[in-house]
Structure 1
Amino acid sequence: MIVQDVIDSLENFAPTSYAEDFDNVGLLVGNNQETISGILVTLDTTEAVIDEAIANKCNLIVSFHPIIFSGLKKITGKNYVERVVIKAIQHNIAIFAIHTALDNSFQGVNDMICEKLNLKNRQILIPQLGTIKKLTTYAPIAEAAAIREALFKAGAGSIGNYDHCSFNLEGTGTFRGREDSNPTKGEILKDHSESETQISVTFPKHLESQILKALFTTHSYEEVAYEIISIENTNQHIGMGMIGTLEIPMEEVDFLNYLKNHMQTNTIRHSALLNKPILKVAVLGGSGSFAISAAKRAGADIFITADLKYHDFFQAEKALILADIGHYESEQFTKNLLVAFLMKKITNFAPALPEGRLILSNTNTNPVKYY
């Protein structure tokens, strides 16, 4: 098994094309063709984590946060970022970061928080725009069924809880092959009319290359006519934050205690209590002040996030409770999520990863301490 095998699996789980523009995700250090001796999964890649990887003979670190966030002009070891990169290179350790790609995944960071809090009826809080595309193509009527099936197999035509979705319209296509053409229908330099089916399907943007590959492989024409456009339909499965409901409403103080216990945090900074039961809960792991308005619009009784500043708490405006549980605390279970996913996938690799070489880091990387 090589590094690229793990990257491919993680790309299927949380495609890096859905990461935020400001982010730096993907393979940050190392060779994607290197054979893997062991994988260490962590929230952050610190010097202590590199030492842990060395001790456990792991040459791939799968990290939630990227150690390299902005460009490095020099690598001299003058700060912790440069020292981590130097040590990783010295010990031939690859580092892959997934960060906001996993934040935006329906089964990612925020779903993990919802799972810990036993929230039901989960939905994306802020759907990411421009993630759905539409393909329209034209094919001889006799080929339409095979082309549709190939597109479906490649991932097109899924809408919410439905798949194999398409729209089809029969009509007449016209064309004439030039002297250097090799037409499969009609003759060179002669006008030709063909009874065709127009096929339209939607697909998630990260699948575009494989959708087109399926189209070109299945279609008989030398030149395949098609159009791809981005559409603004709401994507139910890609976006920041989640909102769900408790099975039974809870009093505010009871819920805050419940939150502390289930998210394993000793401190919650919160806005004023409103003396009404908590039922609808919005969550966003990491820094989430930008989502306060979205939580209000969604009718949340409480919004759980981190890194709220003093003036952010004023935005509660007696509409909901804002609860800051800490950045590390909100994301601490992410590495467990990644290990569980990779554990399921790892048996599909050949040759398999040496037994016991998928390791959950036991290094606490929280830079914030409490007195």
Structure 2
Amino acid sequence: MKIGEITQTLAEFAPPAFQESYDNIGLLVGNAQLACTGVLCTLDVTGAVIQEAIERRCNLVVTHHPVIFKGLQKITGSNDSERAIILAIQKNIAIYAIHTNIDNVLHGVNGILARKLGLIKTQVLLPKANTLCKLHTFAPTAYAEKIKNALFEAGAGKIGAYSECSFSTSGTGTFKAGAETHPFVGTIGQRHLEAEEKIEVIFPAVLQQGIVAALLQAHPYEEVAYDIVPLLNTFHQVGSGITGQMPHPTEETAFLEKLKHELKAPVIKHTRLLGKPIQKVAICGGAGSFLIPQAIASGADIFITADVKYHEFFEVNDALILADVGHWESEQFTIELLEAVLQTKFPTFAVLKSKVSTNPIHYF
């Protein structure tokens, strides 16, 4: 098993195209072509985590937070991050970061926190723009079903909880084959009329390469006519934060107790209680105060996030409860998520969760 095969699985789960512009994800240290001896999943890369990887014979560390984030001008071992990088290179340990791309998928960082809290009917709070396209193609009538099946198999035609969505119209296609062509139907040098179906399907933009490849593979024509059109439609599977519903309205203090228990949080900072039950919940793991307006607009009763500044607590103006649970606390289950993704794909391979707590914050 090569390191690149492991990281490709992670890229399929949370496509790199979904990362934010400021982020630095992917293989940060190491060679993707090396054989992988084991994977260690962590929230952060520290010297202690790299030492753990050495002791547990893992030559790939998968981290949520990139150890190389801002531009590095030198690596001299002047801090723990630099020392971790040096040790990883010395011991031939690869480091792969999966950060805002796994934040931005519905089943990612926020999704696992929502499941821990028992939320249902989850959807993205702030959908990411420019994530959908539409494919138009034209197929001989007898091959239309085969082509649709190939497109569906490649990931096209999903709208919300529905799959295999498409639209077809019948018409007549015309073409004249040139002297050096090998037409599937028709005669070289003569205009040919063919009964065809126009097939339309929506697909996530990140799947374009595979969908076009599937189309060309399934289509009988030597030259396949197709159009790809970017859409402004909202794609509720990709974006920042999520919302979900509690199965039953829950009294505020009972909900906060549940939140504190599930996160094993020593303290939760929050705005004043409003005296009404919690039904709709908004979540953004990590620093999510930029989503306060969207959380309010969604009608959420509480917004759970971290790294909220003093003056940002005033912004909610009693529209909801704003709860700061701590950065590490809000993202801790990412380690469990990464392990589950890789263990499902590689059930007989060594995929381990780090035992090192990388939370830099302590409470007295």
TM-score by length of 1: 0.93
Match of 2:337?
337
The CA deviation at 1:72 is 2.9
* 2:138–2:225 CA contact under 8 A, matched in 1: yes
The CA deviation at 1:241 is 1.3
Matches within 5 A, 1:314-333: 314-333=314-333
Moved more, 57-66 or 230-239: 230-239
Moved more, 234-243 or 207-216: 234-243
The whole-number CA distance in structure 1 between the counterparts of 2:245 and 2:154 is 34
The whole-number CA distance in structure 1 between the counterparts of 2:247 and 2:191 is 66
The yes-or-no answer on 1:140 pairing with 2:133 is: no
RMSD across aligned positions (CA):
1.6
Match of 1:293?
293
The whole-number CA distance in structure 2 between the counterparts of 1:169 and 1:114 is 41
The CA deviation at 1:194 is 2.1
Please give the per-residue CA displacement for 1:195-236, whole angstroms capped at 9, x wherever unaligned. 211111111122111111111111122221111112122212
Match of 1:198?
198
Match of 2:351?
358
The whole-number CA distance in structure 2 between the counterparts of 1:176 and 1:121 is 52
The CA deviation at 1:328 is 0.6
The CA deviation at 1:265 is 0.6
The whole-number CA distance in structure 1 between the counterparts of 2:255 and 2:142 is 61
The whole-number CA distance in structure 2 between the counterparts of 1:150 and 1:112 is 31
Counterpart code for 2:205: K
> Any idea what SS the aligned residue of 1:363 has?
coil
Match of 1:230?
230
Counterpart code for 1:153: E
Counterpart code for 1:258: K
The whole-number CA distance in structure 2 between the counterparts of 1:182 and 1:116 is 58
Counterpart code for 1:209: Q
The CA deviation at 1:152 is 1.2
The whole-number CA distance in structure 1 between the counterparts of 2:307 and 2:148 is 47
Match of 1:255?
255
Moved more, 254-263 or 162-171: 254-263
What's the % identity of the aligned pairs? Answer: 50
> Any idea what SS the aligned residue of 1:276 has?
coil
* 2:50–2:84 CA contact under 8 A, matched in 1: yes
Match of 2:360?
367
* 2:23–2:69 CA contact under 8 A, matched in 1: yes
Moved more, 76-85 or 334-343: 76-85
Moved over 6 A (4+): none
Counterpart code for 2:40: L
Match of 1:52?
52
> Any idea what SS the aligned residue of 2:255 has?
helix
The whole-number CA distance in structure 2 between the counterparts of 1:142 and 1:119 is 46
Moved more, 241-250 or 224-233: 241-250
The whole-number CA distance in structure 1 between the counterparts of 2:73 and 2:213 is 39
Moved more, 309-318 or 10-19: 10-19
Please give the per-residue CA displacement for 1:15-59, whole angstroms capped at 9, x wherever unaligned. 222122221111111111211111100000111111110111100
Match of 1:28?
28
Where does the alignment leave 5 or more consecutive residues of structure 1 unmatched?
A: none
The yes-or-no answer on 1:79 pairing with 2:79 is: yes
TM-score by length of 2: 0.95
Counterpart code for 2:266: N
* 2:266–2:363 CA contact under 8 A, matched in 1: no
The CA deviation at 1:110 is 0.9
How many residues are treated as equivalent by the alignment?
364
Where does the alignment leave 5 or more consecutive residues of structure 2 unmatched?
A: none
> Any idea what SS the aligned residue of 1:197 has?
strand
The whole-number CA distance in structure 2 between the counterparts of 1:163 and 1:252 is 38
Please give the per-residue CA displacement for 1:139-196, whole angstroms capped at 9, x wherever unaligned. 1112211111111111111222222211111112222233443333333333332221
The yes-or-no answer on 1:214 pairing with 2:214 is: yes
The whole-number CA distance in structure 1 between the counterparts of 2:167 and 2:75 is 54
Match of 2:264?
264
Counterpart code for 2:8: D
> Any idea what SS the aligned residue of 2:184 has?
coil
> Any idea what SS the aligned residue of 1:105 has?
coil
* 2:307–2:327 CA contact under 8 A, matched in 1: yes
The yes-or-no answer on 1:131 pairing with 2:145 is: no
The whole-number CA distance in structure 2 between the counterparts of 1:75 and 1:222 is 54
